[in-house]
Each structure stands twice: as structure tokens, then as C-alpha cells.
Amino acid sequence: MTDINWKRYRVKPEQAINLSEWNPAETPAWKGDRDSALEQVGKINAELETLQELLFAEGKQKLLIVLQGMDTSGKDGVIRRVFEGVNPQGVRVASFKVPTAPELARDYLWRVHQQVPGRGEIVIFNRSHYEDVLVVRVHNLVPDAQWKRRYDQINAFERLLAEEGTIMLKFFLHIDKEEQRERLLARLDEPDKRWKFNPGDLKERELWDKYQKAYEDVLSKTSQDCASWIIVPANKKWYRDLVISAALVDTLKDLKMAYPQPAEDLESYRVQLGG
């Protein structure tokens, strides 16, 4: 196990969440400075590479990672940095954007279920089925009664995945409004980030309070023992990456995985290879 206390950020089932009480700039799980934290992330990443290879080789377990957060909260950054060096053969990213016509013709979980991991696989949801109780709520895309019943449907869906052997880690990347402003300005000021700037983000920013309330309900209503939310303080990118890396490695270690044993004695082949 790592010595990073990421479990302090777990949301208990039915725990009432007020995001104003969660400090997005705090760093209590690490006593050192930023540089030492980045060094630690590198060490944990090396462990993650080994564990991911073991997960793939064993071919029994499956891990689903959900990343949610406000615009600029760092979902892409987590995917780049936390999973740097892992074997792409066993890790896949699924992004959920505006539904297509075929997707809209079916229930909202149809496209999601197709992307869940198979045995030996890690799948990262960059946004997820939770958009259907976030964006649709904030923008009044469906009647209130429709999105309100989705909490129970999502809980049932995730229990199904868990009962069929899927391990789930759900991370809410928590930043404050001022941090978002600075990151949006950086996209304007830095040439290598301008491609990421979307004027639509400013319109979404005007709905900050509505999104915060929607997220509070998501965190309160859909954290289960089999699929709990982890509220990650994400103002400091290094701390965000440290907490998520530790949670991943500790979770994979808990699976007690082992490399599969060969079906026959392989020593006889050593002679043929001149060994």
C-alpha cells in the first residue's frame, strides 16, 4: 500500500455533500513539497505499469475509472500524467460527448454499457453517464421527473457492473471558480494551449452555481460501497495526480493478482533453445 491517505476523500453512501465545505486547494495527504510529490508520482506510476501488466496477463479482473469535473478541472491531464507509460494494449479511454442520433434513439445508458471494461482491461471514462444528470439538468434538456429517476437507475447499473466483477473508482476533480478562471486565461495566454480554448466554456462558467448544486446531488445520491465517489482536491495538479495515482495502485494491489501458470512444464523447451 502507498502511504497516501486518499481514502479520506471518499464519499460515504447517502452522505450529504456541500462542496463549499471541501477545500479544493488543500494538500494534507502529502507532507513534502511539489517536487517531492512529483517524484513520488513517478514511483507510483512505475508500480502502476507493473500492476496493469499483471491485470492484463491474469485476465480475470476489470477496472472502470470515472473522471468528472467542471471544465478545466484536469480530466485530460490526469489521463496523460497518471497513466504515462502504461501499456495501451490494456488501457482504453472512452469519452462521452453530445449523443448521436442512434444513441438518442435508445436509452441513455446504452452507449455507456458498450464501453465498460472486459476482463484484464482498464477503461477510463472521460466524462460519463453522469452527464445525464448534470448537463441535461442544468440546461433543462429533459423534464425534471426524467433526470431525477436516473439516480436510482445509475445506482442499479453500477451495482450490476460490480456484481459481474467490475471494480469502480469514481473521481470528482474539485476546483474552485478562481482556479478555473486562471486556467481559462492560460488557454488564451499560452500559444500551446490556445487550441483548447472554447468560447462555449464561458457560457458554461456562467452556470457555475447550478453545476455545483447538480454535482452535490450526484455525489450525495450515487456513492455506494461498490462504487464510491472520491472528491479530489484539484487546484494543485501535482496533488490531484498524487491522490489518484495512490488510489489506483492501492486498489489494484488489493485484488491480489497473480500471473497465470503455464499448462505444462516449460523446462523441456530450454534445451531446444540452447539454454
Mean pLDDT by 10 residues, the chain (275 residues): 94 98 97 95 96 96 98 96 91 94 96 97 97 97 97 98 98 98 94 89 96 98 98 98 98 96 75 72
- Residue 26: HSE in the Cβ half-sphere, 13 Å Cα cutoff: 12
Within a domain: 274: no
With 0-12 / 13-18 / 19 or more C-beta atoms within 10 angstroms meaning exposed / middle / buried, residue 219 is: buried
Which domain covers residue 203, as residue numbers? 6-255
Within a domain: 262: no
Within a domain: 247: yes
* pTM of the model as a whole: 0.95
Within a domain: 218: yes
Within a domain: 264: no
Within a domain: 19: yes
Within a domain: 33: yes
Within a domain: 146: yes
CATH number, domain of 148, equals 3.40.50.300
The number of folded domains in the chain is 1
- Measured CA to CA, the distance from residue 192 to residue 179 in angstroms comes to 19
Q: Which pLDDT score, from 0 to 100, does residue 1 have?
A: 83
Q: Which pLDDT score, from 0 to 100, does residue 265 have?
A: 75
